[in-house]
Structure 1
Amino acid sequence: MSSQTVQTELFAVAQGCPECGGTLDSSGRETHCKNCGLVTEQDQLDHGPEWRTYNREEQKRTGAPRTATRHDRGLSTNIGSVESSDISPRRRRRLARQRRLHGRSKYSSKRDRNLAHGLGEVRRIASALSESRSVKEQASTLFREAQDADLLIGRSIEGGAAAAVYASCRCNGLVTMDTVADVARCSDSHIWNCHRTFLMELELPIPVSLPVDWVARICSDLPLDVAPEVRQQALKLAEQATESTEVNGRPDGVAAGALYLASRESDIRLTQATIGEAMDLNPSTVRQWFQQIEEHIVD
């Protein structure tokens, strides 16, 4: 039995047909009598969603879901603007004044106002990066914890929001600081400062990215199709570079050097500039790690 059927039966028990006293059915957009067909209500409001319960005495209405991306958990309301000629100018001015005062009453302190501004910046950056809703909520929770721990004192709110998004993306996948800094409203030095503070004070479980993890991303960002054997050879070189003590550095650069070295033996002939452009790396960086891998790993 679905919840809509239960709701319809509960509504029918509460009211009867005013014409014949029969059972009313409100499963569609109108309420009609099952016996005589009398339509008692049209274009009615949606009565759902309800708590999933089969007891009419315990039936309760539910509101909007709570979310961590809002400073008030999404429980506040807004007074919308009404454009209608039926409202007098005096009434319209009164509504505008109430709307302004209602907007001010959302923030009980300067701390709440800063929290609202920071969470709005988190949503903007995460949307610009096309991140999922779970990443937005995780970044919002991290920003809220940082504010509760007084880690944002003396630091910019924009830097803290960008650092929270960067840390959440790192916990769920691969992302570079340059990618986050391109859509943030602060420099990457501010983001690094806040990110290091979050790592030390909040003990974030951020996994360490390895060169093997970056090989697949580089291959997908390249304008050319990479052969499977080239990709397998690049993964093999990246694994050997990870286990080696002589090759140690940024994982994306090591992966780019391994892919370039693997492509030299194929017909694709990827250039250092092509690989560097796909990952926003300087060709000299690709050349540096390629030379180290060729010197210490390749026999």
Structure 2
Amino acid sequence: MTDTTIRREASERERESGEREVDEDELVCPECGGRLETDTEHGETVCAECGLVVEEDSIDRGPEWRAFDSAERDRKSRVGAPTTNMMHDKGLSTNIGWQDRDAYGNSLSSRQRAKMQRLRTWNERFRTRDSKERNLKQALGEIDRMASALGLPENVRETASVIYRRALNEDLLPGRSIEGVATAALYAAARQAGTPRSLDEITAVSRVDKDEIARTYRYVVRQLNLEIKPADPESYVPRFASDLDLSDEVERRARELLRNAKEQGIHSGKSPVGLAAAAIYAAALLSNEKVTQSQVSEVANISEVTIRNRYHELLEAEGNTPSY
């Protein structure tokens, strides 16, 4: 190795070490060692301690327009919505607006309106290229409709859409209705997310009967190896208490009754909805809040006999004697 090569390698090492030192010290003021802050309004980087302007005329990476509320921000934004599994094309396709107006807000002529309507028709046809996509579009529409009726959050709808896509890809639909598999996917997603709905509630908004939903649900869970824990009775308590307009004290007391029942193994083999409804009724009586068995029965969609039986068991497990 020659002297020239040695000197060249040494100079390169010095230059690299100098660059590392600059990188480490770039957030520190070179005058006083204070903290540097970025002033986006003036495009400057200044020291918070001594006020030294370290950098100016920085690049503004934000939009060139201003907005003063969320509606104006959405209207001026030129980017699309994020991709989602809740749409059959994941939201990547375009839509032609239903308003018959041009870019300036002026009404279109009758000939232009007819042309736009024809474009909308062909756009809708091209969005679903084959029977599989048409199947998916119908199922995801059903999931969205039922989830809205049940008041389920967006994460449950997204999970249900993923479950249905898996069932479709693994050919689990032959011999089963689209509505049945879609309902089963939503039922499974709600239980996975910890916001379960009873089978009766699901049946009330579905287009298939209860037996088909239960049968399809078991089949989908088994074939897709979904890990779904048994429904926790406590997960129903907040919704029932809210629908009955009961206090937080009743909700807390109902949770205590259910935890005590779990410790003694009373919940085994019992319907979680029935246990939750009975706990709400018992907690309301213990807290001196007026509620009838028929009101709880209507909210929980179970019979008064079930509430009465579970209510006695919960109070006996806690050592209280129920009043007949």
Q: TM-score, normalised by structure 1?
A: 0.69
Unpaired segments ≥5 residues, structure 1:
9-25, 30-45, 50-61
Structure with max Cα Rg: 2
Change (3 A) 1:257 1:65: closer
Matched, 1:277 2:294: no
1:288 CA drift (Å): 1.6
For 1:232 and 1:86, locate their aligned partners in 2 and report how far apart those are by CA, in whole Å.
63
SS in structure 2 at match of 1:217: helix
1:167 CA drift (Å): 1.8
2:138 corresponds in structure 1 to 117
The answer to whether the Cα contact below 8 Å between 1:211 and 1:242 also exists between their aligned partners in 2 is: no
2:214 corresponds in structure 1 to 192
Matched, 1:6 2:61: yes
Q: TM-score, normalised by structure 2?
A: 0.65
Matched, 1:73 2:90: yes
The answer to whether the Cα contact below 8 Å between 1:181 and 1:187 also exists between their aligned partners in 2 is: yes
For 1:232 and 1:74, locate their aligned partners in 2 and report how far apart those are by CA, in whole Å.
42
SS in structure 2 at match of 1:5: coil
Deviations 1:91-146 (A, max 9, x none): 76665555434432322221111111111111222222333332222221111111
2:254 corresponds in structure 1 to 234
SS in structure 2 at match of 1:105: helix
After superposition, residues 114-263 of structure 1 pair within 5 angstroms as: 114-172=135-193, 173-223=195-245, 225-226=246-247, 228=249, 230-248=250-268, 249-263=270-284
The answer to whether the Cα contact below 8 Å between 1:215 and 1:255 also exists between their aligned partners in 2 is: yes
Change (3 A) 1:67 1:257: closer
Unpaired segments ≥5 residues, structure 2:
1-39, 42-57, 68-74, 102-106
For 2:312 and 2:303, locate their aligned partners in 1 and report how far apart those are by CA, in whole Å.
15
Change (3 A) 1:192 1:7: same
SS in structure 1 at match of 2:61: helix
1:52 corresponds in structure 2 to none
The answer to whether the Cα contact below 8 Å between 2:244 and 2:296 also exists between their aligned partners in 1 is: yes
The answer to whether the Cα contact below 8 Å between 2:184 and 2:216 also exists between their aligned partners in 1 is: yes
Matched, 1:288 2:313: no
What is the aligned length?
250
For 2:77 and 2:254, locate their aligned partners in 1 and report how far apart those are by CA, in whole Å.
55
For 1:148 and 1:176, locate their aligned partners in 2 and report how far apart those are by CA, in whole Å.
28
The answer to whether the Cα contact below 8 Å between 1:70 and 1:116 also exists between their aligned partners in 2 is: yes
CA RMSD of aligned residues (A): 3.3
SS in structure 2 at match of 1:108: coil
